[in-house]
Chains A and B, each alone.
Chain A
Amino acid sequence: MRDLSLHLMDLVQNSITAGAALIKVSVFQKDDGLLGFMIEDDGCGMDEETREKALSPFGTSRTTRKVGLGIPLTREHALITGGSFDLESKKGQGTSLQAVFNTRHIDCQPLGNLGETLLTLILANPDTPDFVMTLSSEGAQESLDTRQIKEVLGEVPINDPAVVTWLMENINEMLNQTLGGVEK
Protein backbone atom coordinates (compact mmCIF):
# COMPACT_ATOMS: atom_id res chain seq x y z
CA MET A 1 0.00 0.00 0.00
CA ARG A 2 1.52 3.25 -1.08
CA ASP A 3 -0.83 5.73 0.50
CA LEU A 4 -3.52 6.20 3.11
CA SER A 5 -6.40 6.36 0.65
CA LEU A 6 -5.55 2.82 -0.46
CA HIS A 7 -5.56 1.60 3.13
CA LEU A 8 -8.97 3.15 3.59
CA MET A 9 -10.26 1.49 0.45
CA ASP A 10 -8.86 -1.85 1.54
CA LEU A 11 -10.43 -1.75 4.99
CA VAL A 12 -13.83 -0.73 3.65
CA GLN A 13 -13.74 -3.92 1.57
CA ASN A 14 -13.77 -5.83 4.87
CA SER A 15 -17.03 -4.13 5.81
CA ILE A 16 -18.49 -5.03 2.44
CA THR A 17 -17.42 -8.65 2.88
CA ALA A 18 -19.02 -8.58 6.34
CA GLY A 19 -22.35 -7.99 4.61
CA ALA A 20 -22.88 -4.44 5.84
CA ALA A 21 -25.95 -2.55 4.65
CA LEU A 22 -24.61 0.82 5.71
CA ILE A 23 -20.98 1.86 6.00
CA LYS A 24 -20.00 5.16 7.53
CA VAL A 25 -16.64 6.41 6.37
CA SER A 26 -15.16 9.55 7.83
CA VAL A 27 -11.84 11.22 7.31
CA PHE A 28 -10.75 14.00 9.59
CA GLN A 29 -7.80 16.31 9.80
CA LYS A 30 -6.66 18.18 12.87
CA ASP A 31 -4.64 21.38 13.00
CA ASP A 32 -1.89 19.60 14.92
CA GLY A 33 -1.11 17.37 11.94
CA LEU A 34 -3.12 14.33 12.92
CA LEU A 35 -5.14 12.75 10.16
CA GLY A 36 -7.41 9.83 10.68
CA PHE A 37 -10.17 7.76 9.24
CA MET A 38 -13.03 5.92 10.82
CA ILE A 39 -15.09 3.13 9.36
CA GLU A 40 -18.30 1.98 11.02
CA ASP A 41 -20.39 -0.80 9.60
CA ASP A 42 -23.45 -2.80 10.55
CA GLY A 43 -22.05 -6.02 9.13
CA CYS A 44 -21.74 -9.41 10.80
CA GLY A 45 -19.19 -8.26 13.40
CA MET A 46 -16.60 -10.41 15.13
CA ASP A 47 -16.23 -12.10 18.49
CA GLU A 48 -13.15 -11.32 20.56
CA GLU A 49 -11.15 -14.27 19.24
CA THR A 50 -11.79 -13.30 15.60
CA ARG A 51 -10.98 -9.68 16.37
CA GLU A 52 -7.61 -10.70 17.80
CA LYS A 53 -6.98 -12.81 14.72
CA ALA A 54 -7.87 -9.92 12.42
CA LEU A 55 -5.04 -7.86 13.91
CA SER A 56 -2.52 -10.56 13.09
CA PRO A 57 -1.06 -10.92 9.60
CA PHE A 58 -1.49 -14.67 9.93
CA GLY A 59 -5.21 -14.52 10.54
CA THR A 60 -7.80 -14.37 7.80
CA SER A 61 -11.36 -15.47 7.25
CA ARG A 62 -10.46 -16.54 3.75
CA THR A 63 -9.86 -20.08 2.70
CA THR A 64 -7.89 -19.37 -0.48
CA ARG A 65 -4.79 -18.31 1.45
CA LYS A 66 -3.38 -18.15 4.93
CA VAL A 67 -2.50 -14.49 5.37
CA GLY A 68 -4.67 -11.43 5.85
CA LEU A 69 -2.70 -8.23 5.56
CA GLY A 70 -5.22 -5.41 5.26
CA ILE A 71 -5.65 -4.59 8.95
CA PRO A 72 -2.08 -5.38 10.10
CA LEU A 73 -0.56 -3.22 7.35
CA THR A 74 -2.74 -0.23 8.14
CA ARG A 75 -2.15 -0.65 11.84
CA GLU A 76 1.60 -0.81 11.33
CA HIS A 77 1.60 2.27 9.13
CA ALA A 78 -0.44 4.18 11.73
CA LEU A 79 1.65 3.13 14.73
CA ILE A 80 4.94 3.81 12.99
CA THR A 81 4.00 7.51 12.80
CA GLY A 82 3.10 7.62 16.47
CA GLY A 83 -0.58 7.39 15.62
CA SER A 84 -3.13 4.91 16.83
CA PHE A 85 -5.31 2.06 15.63
CA ASP A 86 -8.50 0.86 17.28
CA LEU A 87 -10.73 -1.97 16.23
CA GLU A 88 -13.99 -2.63 18.01
CA SER A 89 -16.56 -5.19 17.12
CA LYS A 90 -19.68 -6.85 18.42
CA LYS A 91 -20.73 -10.12 16.89
CA GLY A 92 -24.00 -9.68 15.03
CA GLN A 93 -23.93 -5.89 15.35
CA GLY A 94 -21.03 -4.54 13.40
CA THR A 95 -17.51 -3.29 13.51
CA SER A 96 -15.90 0.08 13.85
CA LEU A 97 -12.30 0.99 13.40
CA GLN A 98 -10.25 4.11 13.60
CA ALA A 99 -6.76 4.71 12.29
CA VAL A 100 -4.93 7.91 13.15
CA PHE A 101 -1.72 9.02 11.49
CA ASN A 102 0.66 11.76 12.48
CA THR A 103 1.25 13.41 9.12
CA ARG A 104 4.24 15.33 10.47
CA HIS A 105 6.16 12.12 11.07
CA ILE A 106 8.70 11.40 8.36
CA ASP A 107 7.43 7.86 7.89
CA CYS A 108 3.83 8.88 7.35
CA GLN A 109 2.54 7.85 3.96
CA PRO A 110 0.88 10.50 1.76
CA LEU A 111 -2.89 10.72 1.79
CA GLY A 112 -3.12 9.75 -1.88
CA ASN A 113 -6.14 10.14 -4.08
CA LEU A 114 -8.89 10.06 -1.50
CA GLY A 115 -11.49 11.26 -4.01
CA GLU A 116 -10.89 8.26 -6.23
CA THR A 117 -11.19 5.91 -3.26
CA LEU A 118 -14.56 7.35 -2.26
CA LEU A 119 -15.86 7.43 -5.81
CA THR A 120 -14.72 3.89 -6.60
CA LEU A 121 -16.36 2.56 -3.45
CA ILE A 122 -19.71 4.06 -4.44
CA LEU A 123 -19.50 3.02 -8.08
CA ALA A 124 -18.33 -0.52 -7.42
CA ASN A 125 -21.23 -1.10 -5.04
CA PRO A 126 -24.20 0.52 -6.76
CA ASP A 127 -26.89 -1.43 -4.89
CA THR A 128 -25.61 -2.30 -1.44
CA PRO A 129 -24.10 -1.24 0.84
CA ASP A 130 -24.99 2.40 1.27
CA PHE A 131 -22.34 4.87 2.33
CA VAL A 132 -22.28 7.94 4.49
CA MET A 133 -19.03 9.72 3.75
CA THR A 134 -17.92 12.57 5.95
CA LEU A 135 -14.86 14.73 5.52
CA SER A 136 -13.90 17.17 8.19
CA SER A 137 -11.20 19.47 9.38
CA GLU A 138 -11.30 21.91 12.24
CA GLY A 139 -13.94 24.36 11.16
CA ALA A 140 -15.37 22.54 8.16
CA GLN A 141 -17.41 19.43 7.60
CA GLU A 142 -19.00 18.01 4.48
CA SER A 143 -20.87 14.80 4.00
CA LEU A 144 -22.57 12.71 1.40
CA ASP A 145 -25.20 10.03 1.90
CA THR A 146 -25.82 7.56 -0.91
CA ARG A 147 -29.27 6.71 0.50
CA GLN A 148 -30.31 10.32 -0.08
CA ILE A 149 -28.80 10.33 -3.57
CA LYS A 150 -30.50 7.06 -4.52
CA GLU A 151 -33.83 8.37 -3.28
CA VAL A 152 -33.63 11.35 -5.63
CA LEU A 153 -32.39 9.19 -8.52
CA GLY A 154 -35.18 6.64 -8.27
CA GLU A 155 -34.65 4.04 -10.97
CA VAL A 156 -31.59 5.75 -12.41
CA PRO A 157 -28.53 3.78 -11.22
CA ILE A 158 -25.95 5.65 -9.19
CA ASN A 159 -23.21 4.52 -11.59
CA ASP A 160 -24.83 6.07 -14.63
CA PRO A 161 -22.26 8.26 -16.48
CA ALA A 162 -24.16 11.49 -15.85
CA VAL A 163 -24.45 10.72 -12.15
CA VAL A 164 -20.78 9.73 -11.99
CA THR A 165 -19.81 13.19 -13.23
CA TRP A 166 -22.02 14.76 -10.57
CA LEU A 167 -20.54 12.54 -7.87
CA MET A 168 -17.00 13.28 -8.95
CA GLU A 169 -17.55 17.04 -8.86
CA ASN A 170 -19.34 16.72 -5.55
CA ILE A 171 -16.57 14.70 -3.92
CA ASN A 172 -13.88 17.05 -5.22
CA GLU A 173 -15.80 20.00 -3.83
CA MET A 174 -16.13 18.26 -0.47
CA LEU A 175 -12.39 17.62 -0.43
CA ASN A 176 -11.58 21.21 -1.28
CA GLN A 177 -13.90 22.54 1.39
CA THR A 178 -12.48 20.36 4.13
CA LEU A 179 -9.07 18.83 3.66
CA GLY A 180 -7.98 21.78 1.55
CA GLY A 181 -7.56 20.69 -2.02
CA VAL A 182 -5.38 17.64 -1.53
CA GLU A 183 -7.03 16.37 -4.67
CA LYS A 184 -5.56 17.50 -7.94
Chain B
Amino acid sequence: MKSISELEQIRKATLERINLRREDKENEVRVVVGMATCGIAAGARPVMMAFMTEANRRGLSQVTVSQTGCIGMCRYEPMADVYLPGQEKVTYVNLDEEKVRRIVLDHIVNGRPVAEFTIASAQNEINRGNKK
Protein backbone atom coordinates (compact mmCIF):
# COMPACT_ATOMS: atom_id res chain seq x y z
CA MET B 1 0.00 0.00 0.00
CA LYS B 2 1.32 3.38 -0.94
CA SER B 3 1.64 5.74 1.93
CA ILE B 4 -1.39 7.41 3.39
CA SER B 5 0.74 10.48 4.09
CA GLU B 6 1.08 10.92 0.35
CA LEU B 7 -2.70 11.00 0.19
CA GLU B 8 -2.71 13.71 2.84
CA GLN B 9 -0.40 15.78 0.61
CA ILE B 10 -2.76 15.32 -2.31
CA ARG B 11 -5.66 16.46 -0.17
CA LYS B 12 -3.92 19.71 0.76
CA ALA B 13 -2.87 20.43 -2.79
CA THR B 14 -6.34 19.71 -4.15
CA LEU B 15 -8.56 21.53 -1.68
CA GLU B 16 -8.25 24.91 -3.30
CA ARG B 17 -9.09 23.60 -6.72
CA ILE B 18 -12.10 21.76 -5.29
CA ASN B 19 -13.62 24.94 -3.95
CA LEU B 20 -13.44 26.46 -7.39
CA ARG B 21 -15.19 23.46 -8.84
CA ARG B 22 -18.01 23.67 -6.33
CA GLU B 23 -18.83 27.21 -7.39
CA ASP B 24 -18.95 25.95 -10.94
CA LYS B 25 -21.89 23.62 -10.34
CA GLU B 26 -24.16 25.05 -13.03
CA ASN B 27 -21.51 24.34 -15.66
CA GLU B 28 -21.37 20.70 -14.76
CA VAL B 29 -21.13 18.24 -17.65
CA ARG B 30 -22.42 14.76 -16.92
CA VAL B 31 -21.42 11.61 -18.75
CA VAL B 32 -23.35 8.45 -17.92
CA VAL B 33 -22.03 5.13 -19.22
CA GLY B 34 -24.14 1.96 -19.39
CA MET B 35 -22.43 -0.67 -17.24
CA ALA B 36 -24.71 -3.69 -17.17
CA THR B 37 -23.71 -7.16 -18.38
CA CYS B 38 -24.39 -6.16 -21.98
CA GLY B 39 -22.38 -2.94 -21.70
CA ILE B 40 -19.41 -4.52 -19.97
CA ALA B 41 -19.31 -7.41 -22.43
CA ALA B 42 -19.33 -4.94 -25.33
CA GLY B 43 -16.43 -2.93 -23.89
CA ALA B 44 -17.93 -0.30 -21.59
CA ARG B 45 -15.08 -0.41 -19.08
CA PRO B 46 -12.38 1.00 -21.39
CA VAL B 47 -14.94 3.49 -22.70
CA MET B 48 -15.61 4.75 -19.20
CA MET B 49 -11.89 4.92 -18.43
CA ALA B 50 -11.37 6.83 -21.67
CA PHE B 51 -13.95 9.47 -20.66
CA MET B 52 -12.23 9.87 -17.29
CA THR B 53 -8.65 9.97 -18.52
CA GLU B 54 -9.48 12.24 -21.44
CA ALA B 55 -11.34 14.69 -19.19
CA ASN B 56 -8.47 14.64 -16.69
CA ARG B 57 -5.86 15.06 -19.39
CA ARG B 58 -7.61 18.15 -20.67
CA GLY B 59 -8.18 19.45 -17.17
CA LEU B 60 -11.97 19.43 -17.55
CA SER B 61 -12.82 19.45 -13.87
CA GLN B 62 -16.49 20.20 -14.59
CA VAL B 63 -16.98 16.73 -16.08
CA THR B 64 -18.36 13.95 -13.89
CA VAL B 65 -18.51 10.41 -15.20
CA SER B 66 -20.99 7.99 -13.68
CA GLN B 67 -22.64 4.72 -14.56
CA THR B 68 -26.08 3.29 -15.08
CA GLY B 69 -27.54 -0.14 -15.78
CA CYS B 70 -29.01 -1.62 -18.92
CA ILE B 71 -31.63 0.50 -20.64
CA GLY B 72 -32.80 -2.31 -22.91
CA MET B 73 -30.93 -1.40 -26.07
CA CYS B 74 -28.12 -3.90 -25.64
CA ARG B 75 -27.31 -4.04 -29.35
CA TYR B 76 -26.08 -0.45 -29.20
CA GLU B 77 -23.65 -0.98 -26.32
CA PRO B 78 -21.30 0.49 -25.27
CA MET B 79 -23.53 3.53 -24.88
CA ALA B 80 -23.16 6.81 -23.04
CA ASP B 81 -25.35 9.85 -22.42
CA VAL B 82 -23.74 13.27 -22.39
CA TYR B 83 -25.51 16.11 -20.60
CA LEU B 84 -24.25 19.63 -21.26
CA PRO B 85 -25.75 22.46 -19.22
CA GLY B 86 -28.73 24.00 -20.99
CA GLN B 87 -28.71 21.41 -23.76
CA GLU B 88 -30.68 18.28 -24.45
CA LYS B 89 -29.02 15.00 -23.58
CA VAL B 90 -27.14 13.29 -26.40
CA THR B 91 -27.01 9.48 -26.52
CA TYR B 92 -23.95 7.97 -28.16
CA VAL B 93 -23.86 4.33 -29.25
CA ASN B 94 -21.35 1.63 -30.27
CA LEU B 95 -18.57 3.53 -28.56
CA ASP B 96 -14.88 2.83 -28.39
CA GLU B 97 -11.94 4.78 -26.98
CA GLU B 98 -11.27 6.57 -30.23
CA LYS B 99 -14.85 7.82 -30.50
CA VAL B 100 -14.74 8.92 -26.86
CA ARG B 101 -11.73 11.13 -27.57
CA ARG B 102 -13.66 12.81 -30.39
CA ILE B 103 -16.73 13.27 -28.25
CA VAL B 104 -14.71 14.86 -25.45
CA LEU B 105 -13.05 17.26 -27.86
CA ASP B 106 -15.93 18.12 -30.21
CA HIS B 107 -18.89 17.90 -27.88
CA ILE B 108 -17.70 18.57 -24.34
CA VAL B 109 -14.95 21.07 -25.14
CA ASN B 110 -16.36 22.71 -28.24
CA GLY B 111 -20.08 22.18 -27.73
CA ARG B 112 -20.78 20.42 -31.04
CA PRO B 113 -22.31 16.97 -30.63
CA VAL B 114 -20.76 14.32 -32.89
CA ALA B 115 -23.85 13.53 -34.96
CA GLU B 116 -22.50 10.40 -36.62
CA PHE B 117 -22.00 8.57 -33.31
CA THR B 118 -25.47 9.28 -31.92
CA ILE B 119 -28.29 6.82 -31.56
CA ALA B 120 -30.37 8.79 -34.05
CA SER B 121 -27.70 8.30 -36.68
CA ALA B 122 -27.43 4.56 -35.91
CA GLN B 123 -31.19 4.14 -36.25
CA ASN B 124 -31.30 6.05 -39.53
CA GLU B 125 -28.65 3.71 -40.91
CA ILE B 126 -30.87 0.76 -40.10
CA ASN B 127 -33.92 2.43 -41.62
CA ARG B 128 -31.99 3.01 -44.82
CA GLY B 129 -31.23 -0.68 -44.95
CA ASN B 130 -27.53 -0.41 -44.16
CA LYS B 131 -27.62 -3.09 -41.55
CA LYS B 132 -24.97 -2.48 -38.95
Contact = CB atoms under 8 A, between A and B. Distances in A.
A160 B14 CA distance: 8
Given A62-B70, A124-B48, A124-B65, A169 B56 contact: no
B7 interface: yes
B126 interface: no
B72 interface: yes
B48 A120 contact: yes
Given A62-B69, A152-B11, A159-B64, 12 more contacts: A10-B40, A13-B36, A124-B33, A124-B65, A124-B67, A148-B4, A152-B7, A156-B15, A161-B56, A163-B7, A163-B10, A166-B10
B8 A152 contact: yes
Nearest to B73: A64
Interface string A143-158: 1100011001111110
Given A1-B41, A117-B45, A144-B1, A64 B7 contact: no
Contact of A166 (B2, B56, B67): B2
Contacts of B36: 10, 13, 70
Contacts, number: 98
Contacts of A69: 37
Interface in A11-52: 13, 17
Contacts of B18: 155-157, 160
A110 to B, nearest CB: 15
A173 B11 CA distance: 21
- A6, A152, A155, A161: most-surrounded residue (chain B CB, <10 A): A161
B109 interface: no
15 contacts: A1-B40, A10-B41, A62-B69, A116-B45, A120-B45, A123-B52, A123-B65, A124-B33, A152-B4, A152-B8, A153-B7, A156-B11, A156-B15, A160-B14, A173-B2
Interface in B1-53: 1-2, 4, 6-8, 10-11, 13-15, 18, 33, 35-37, 40-41, 45-46, 48-49, 52
